[in-house]
Amino acid sequence: MKILIAFLTFVLACWFLPWWGLGLAAFVLGLVPLNKNLDWKIVSALGALVVLLVTYGMDRRLDFVISNKMAGFFLLPSAQVLYLFLAGIGAVTVALWFLAGQRLTKAFPKPRSARD
């Protein structure tokens, strides 16, 4: 269930927010105490998958014009290599921001009540 929530959060962030939305969503997921057992590798892979799917979906709507021109600009052999490169950037972004959220949660633990 946590993985599905993370996946849907990343999809919404990629679709409706600017480029930094994916990092913000990963940071918020890292801050949520319920996700403390969620592995950063899984979250990073989900982020890469979402970036890959959203990039392909948006480029498909534009008849692959932008990806082919960008692949030629960067001297890449095909647009698919560009998709994989962008997915790698998304994976690194998600991993770093998710770990930052988790570390911040551990640095400031919840205060204990007076009865404890």
**pLDDT tens-place string over residues 34-86:** 767 788 898 899 989 988 988 888 888 888 888 888 888 889 898 889 999 99
pLDDT tens digits for 3-16?
788 888 888 887 78
Give the DSSP letter of residue 79. Answer: H
pLDDT band at 17 (very low <50, low <70, confident <90, very high): confident
What global pTM score does this model have? 0.80
- Tell me which residue has tokens 């290599």: 81
Read off φ and ψ for residue 110, nearest 5 degrees: -65, 130
